[in-house]
Structure 1
Amino acid sequence: MQTYPQTLQGWLEHCERLHAKNIDMGLARVGEVARRLALRFDCPVITVAGTNGKGSTCALLEAVAMEAGYRTGVYSSPHLVHFEERCRVRGDSVAAAALLPHFEAVERARTEAGTEVSLTYFEFTTLAILRFMSQAGLDVAILEVGLGGRLDATNIIDADCAVITSVDIDHVEFLGSDRESIGREKAGIMRAGRPVVVSDPLPPQSVIDQAQQIGADLWRFGQDFNYSGDKQQWSWAGRGRRYAGLAYPALRGANQLINASGALAALEALRQRLPVTAQAVRLGLARVELPGRFQVVPGQPALVLDVAHNPHSVAALTANLDAMGYFPTTHAVFGAMADKDLAPMLEKIAPLIDRWYFTDLPTPRAESAAGLQQKWSTLPAASATGRKAGTSLHASPEEALRAAVEAADPTDRIVVFGSFYTVGGVLKNGVPRLHAKHLDA
């Protein structure tokens, strides 16, 4: 008799052992298991792809839909601290116990009739979460693409509305080395005759061409919807609909207006099936939350957490940090994957950083702290005339943050950025406790 893991951790360890590769692009294997599971959704599905802004767009869609009274389900990845964060229903992370029957169902389907299908960790866990969501009585399902779009496991579900956020260079070994190639992969989530919202202000032509080629209903930023605003409020206008006098989204950063515009366009495109009121829009924008996206933690010194991990997102982080105003010293805790384009990331933010705390991360994919320091030391920014940022090496994000807090004055600023492992490492180990040094000063 087959025995199965009795805990979520046991299932996750099982998933890690099943496939030789961490990433194995393609839908044939995951699609076959989905067919065996008879996986389908009875509610509208919004699938969100893009290089940056996916998580924020999902959170904005979720917040507005919740304020409109809908039972929402969100699938996103990776997680910051706990695996259960990857699935939210009505804004709350799923309980580990609730996922166990669905992991078992995927395993049964995967090994059905002696025809075993090999699944990666991401494919297996995606199927388990999608099956849970399909049976959760949702009014709307919001799916964040993990990597690319066309061959991502989430693409086994036909989106009623696709959203494509910013398109930039990342994961070149899987998606291609230029924006046109990467855009073509993102565009794979589109479906013929259904709306696709493109919130990138300057999208690759490949995205536009694919929408036109398959006959998708293209909603393009700057043409079919747009925003305007001043320092106090902003307005959104789309096809036949306008929201005026909106408060800025609770998510910080200038780029969030583009993400919010795309989310509102998607909801407008689904108005017949998923109507929302102006009040739901206002409340949703005001109440949306998403840890690790230019998250400012109260206290002294100022503490900013951001999962910026590619040149495009680090450029946005740099602009947002610059807009915060003057701080005597800015300390940076940084850890990243070895396959990232590290030089432009470091160069872009370098003018704002006075001291670096490079950290190891608990994954073999990560660049070591020493490796990060070495890469930094070879850059022109590291030896710029009159500006010599100090560096130190640390075994974990928690240790790096503790060192930064000890070195910082109350009026300084600490920014923790890079991989999800970097930000998750400090969140998991208690930012408030580590950050308490100056609270009573």
Structure 2
Amino acid sequence: MKTLSEWLAHCERQHPQGISGIEMGLDRVQRVARRMELAMPCPVITVAGTNGKGSTCAMLEAIYSEAGYRTGVYTSPHLVHFEERCRVGREAVPADSLLPAFGEVERARLGDGGSGEQGAVVLTYFEFTTLVILRTLSESGIDLAILEIGLGGRLDAVNILDPDCSVITSIALDHMALLGPDREAIGYEKAGIMRTGRPVVVSDPVPPQSVLDRAIEVGAQLWRLGHDFHFAGDQQQWGWAMHPSHGARRYSGLAYPALRGANQLVNAAGALAAIEALRSRLPVTAQAVRNGLAMVELPGRFQIVPGTPTLVLDVAHNPHSVAALAENLDAMGFYPTTHAVFGAMADKELATMLERISPLVDCWYLTDLPPARAAKAAALAPIVEASPAPGQARTSTVTGLYGNPQEALQAAVSSADPADRIVVFGSFHTVGGVLQDGVPRLQAKHLSS
């Protein structure tokens, strides 16, 4: 294999088939990591949770970068290009720079890494690529590694590294076939990233009891929103403070984070707590906090694209995140017509996802998505049609079915007036599909009139 696409195709051919094509467990990836003698030569922050992980990682990255540190970030999944998963110094690592690590992981996987341990190990796509990115980060001269858990926590491949600080964001119902049927079970899996004697920041305002119990069980230093740190704000600004038992650190008169949405204050509060937890090793100034929050960027998280009609991109893909999206759409004000481009995975709680947002949508444009586990647009149609429409007097109406998100977006643009709004949501693949050729520049029909 000589190119990134060839290596990724190789990884896709290797993995065993577990539930939904995923095999949980750390034994295999730990064996290969030992053969590679993989270690991170700097502090590590690991971020788990159902929603808010990517935003929290982006805020940590922005603040620490503004403080002068060279950051390394691993997030998943990507929107358009695989390289988005690995950032060093706030820039995606070029594809060619990842290739040496692919070769190293393959040699170690086959038992040819010089460790003396024999026997080939089969890795999933996620395990293989996680090892590639962790090795790349470990050799990039970074001062801090910020690692987003892909799924769950306890058995996620990222959890082979011991974090210096863990962050657990909001916990909601998602991936229940793998993580359990309720928030308590899911919380237990997320809590698997905690380590004895090390800080864990819990930014979920009402965390499952399983998370709190696990912190006590392993002897982690629990920093909990509303107990150990808190935030408050008005329409103009917000502030954050630690409980006196953790010190007198506080920030007042902060501008709202550049990432839109009321839920971003919860994520920002958790990020600031993690920064305080590591202050003795990585001190950060108040100005770096202010600048970082003002400059943070993360595509696809309530991203509003300039132009007409208004375009909103959001990777919301479970009931909790879609409800947050609906709340943010409500706060935008009046639009004559809201058009929705929607595509989703078949294993999601689709009816529950749509219950809150459907009353805000006038016209639906349903799209197929590339993954095999994605729901076909034709299968989404009856679920959408059974959901409530604006005014609750009728059920929703599907405007059309499309083969990909770009086709669906173009249809929405063709139907929309300049004063309308288009929202694209339901999956990373839905948003990534419309970003395939860059951020769209829209021009609605009847613009000249």
Superposed displacement of residue 347, structure 1: 1.3
Give the structure 2 partner of residue 436 of structure 1: 443
Q: Deviations over 1:101-154 (max 9, x none)?
A: 000000000001551000000000000000010111110000000000000000
Superposed displacement of residue 349, structure 1: 0.3
Give the structure 2 partner of residue 269 of structure 1: 277
Q: Secondary structure at the match of 2:312?
A: strand
Whole-angstrom CA distance in 1 between matches of 2:158 and 2:56: 16
Superposed displacement of residue 33, structure 1: 0.3
Letter in 2 for 1:151: L
> Is structure 2 residue 353 aligned with structure 1 residue 349?
no
Letter in 1 for 2:6: G
Give the structure 2 partner of residue 20 of structure 1: 16
Give the structure 1 partner of residue 430 of structure 2: 422
Give the structure 2 partner of residue 183 of structure 1: 187
Q: Secondary structure at the match of 1:432?
A: coil
Q: Secondary structure at the match of 2:308?
A: coil
Judge which range, 348-357 or 387-396, deviates more.
387-396
Give the structure 2 partner of residue 194 of structure 1: 198
Give the structure 2 partner of residue 135 of structure 1: 139
Q: How does 1:200-239 map to 2 (within 5 A)?
A: 200-238=204-242, 239=246
RMSD, matched Cα: 1.4
Q: How does 1:12-411 map to 2 (within 5 A)?
A: 12-21=8-17, 22-113=21-112, 115-238=119-242, 239=246, 240-379=248-387, 381=389, 384-386=392-394, 388-411=396-419
Q: What TM-score does the superposition give when structure 1 sets the normalisation length?
A: 0.97
Whole-angstrom CA distance in 1 between matches of 2:325 and 2:53: 16
Whole-angstrom CA distance in 1 between matches of 2:391 and 2:10: 48
Letter in 2 for 1:80: L
Q: What TM-score does the superposition give when structure 2 sets the normalisation length?
A: 0.95
Whole-angstrom CA distance in 2 between matches of 1:75 and 1:306: 20
Whole-angstrom CA distance in 2 between matches of 1:26 and 1:156: 10
Whole-angstrom CA distance in 1 between matches of 2:367 and 2:156: 30
Q: Tell whether the 8 Å contact from 1:102 to 1:128 is kept in structure 2 after alignment.
A: yes
Q: Tell whether the 8 Å contact from 1:373 to 1:391 is kept in structure 2 after alignment.
A: no
Whole-angstrom CA distance in 1 between matches of 2:141 and 2:434: 35
Whole-angstrom CA distance in 1 between matches of 2:180 and 2:3: 38
Whole-angstrom CA distance in 2 between matches of 1:383 and 1:342: 21
Tell me the percent identity: 68
Q: Deviations over 1:180-236 (max 9, x none)?
A: 000000000000000000000000000000001111000000011110111111000
Superposed displacement of residue 24, structure 1: 0.7
Superposed displacement of residue 311, structure 1: 0.0
Superposed displacement of residue 375, structure 1: 1.7
Whole-angstrom CA distance in 2 between matches of 1:156 and 1:145: 11
